[in-house]
Amino acid sequence: MPELPEVEVLRRHLEGAIRDKVVRKVEVRRARSLRPTSVGTFVRTVAGSKFTGLSRRGKYLLFSLQVTATKKPLPLLGHLGMSGRMYLLPKRAPLPKHAAVILDLGKHQFIFEDTRYFGRLTLDTSPIARLGPEPLENARVPTDFDEGLSRSKQSIKMKLLDQTLVAGLGNIYASEALFRAKLSPRLPASQLKPEQIARLWKSIRQVLTEAVSCGSTVPLNFSGTGKRDGLFYFGRLPEAPDFYEERLQVYDRAGKPCLRCGTTIQRLVQGNRSTYFCPGCQKQ
């Protein structure tokens, strides 16, 4: 469930629940989920430490832990990949099929579940250094974004997925931001004029901000025990079945009318991934 808004909503839900909890025991069921950290190192290092905070950078979660004996900070990096989920589960509840890492916190256990195992929970925090600017913390267009676009002939859609120009956008919100900015996903990045870049940056921030606030007001089910799965952009509330339809303007809406102009939304493939756009609204 992972783009910036979903990760941020998860962070808000999780932070209070794990703060000050001590990791009594560590169980690793999938060594791959820790890469490149080894199981032995991970278990030895994390066991006995205490959660002191949870922050986010792009789509990454940064767990702040403290080694009890030495009081030294111990950062843990989490990424949900395509199908990762993190939540607390009562101690003796049955474990999900794809539980990758389980941290015993006493009354509850912290579960990192990941069906496809593309995500990770690791001691290696180096990926953070390669990330571009944080969209919600930069009201003005950052230089990295501006210059990154100017020296690429790739399509603007592809560049939005490159985490070094702006951190946190994924396939859904890249399409949504371009629709909002009224820019064609096929535009070569270097062809964007300053005015268009400014409009795009603003749209990115608006789309992400709305998604975060939307996710924050929804009674999410991160525990994985209910019927809905916590993937809030697809989750439909029983009391508001059209919720999802109204939230995403173009993503996964191929063949349906544009909510702004009525033109049929089209799907196209860029870099092996689907892009959705309105040919009427996004001519340039």
Residue with structure tokens 């371009």? 178
* Residue 8 near DNA by CB under 7 A: no
Q: What DSSP string describes 64-98?
A: EEE-TTT--EEEEEEE-TTTEEEEEEETTSPPPTT
Instruction: Choose, from 12, 182, 260, 273, the residue flagged as catalytic.
Output: 273
96 interacts with DNA by CB under 7 A = no
Three-state DSSP string of 103-160: EECCCEEEEEEECCCCCEEECCCHHHHHCCCCHHHCCCCCHHHHHHHHCCCCEHHHHH
In one-letter notation, the amino acid at residue 7 is V
Our answer to whether residue 180 is catalytic in this structure is no
Q: Which of 47, 118, 136, 214 binds DNA (CB under 7 A)?
A: 118
The answer to whether the bond into 257 is cis (omega within 30° of 0) is no
Q: Should residue 143 be labelled a site residue for DNA when binding is judged by CB under 7 A?
A: no
Note if 72 is an active site residue.
no
Give the list of residues 6+ apart from residue 251 with CB closer than 8 angstroms, or none: 171, 172, 175, 176, 276
Query: Taking contact as CB under 7 A, which single stretch among the options 12-20, 150-158, 206-214, 217-225 is the one that binds DNA?
Result: 150-158
Residue 25 or residue 267: which is nearer to DNA going by CB? 267
Structure tokens at 143: 């230089």
Q: How far is residue 279's CA from residue 284's CA, in Å, rounded to a whole number?
A: 9
59 touches DNA by CB under 7 A: yes
| CA 264 to mean position of chain CA atoms | 28
Query: How far from 10 is each of 7, 55, 72, 155, 204, CA to CA, in Å?
Result: 5, 10, 26, 31, 20
Is 2 labeled as catalytic in the residue annotation? yes
The catalytically annotated residue of 21, 50, 59, 120 is 59
Comparing CB distances to DNA, the nearer of 38 and 68 is 38
Site string for DNA, 65-94 (x = CB under 7 A): --------------x-xx------------
Draw the binding track, 238-277, toward DNA (x: CB under 7 A; -: no contact).
Answer: ---------------------------------xxxx---
Q: Is 158 in the site for DNA (CB under 7 A)?
A: yes
152 in contact with DNA (CB under 7 A): yes
What is the binding site for DNA (CB under 7 A)? 1-3, 6, 32, 58-59, 79, 81-82, 97-98, 115-118, 127, 130, 151-154, 158, 161, 163, 170-172, 231, 233-234, 271-274
Residues annotated as part of the active site: 2-3, 59, 273
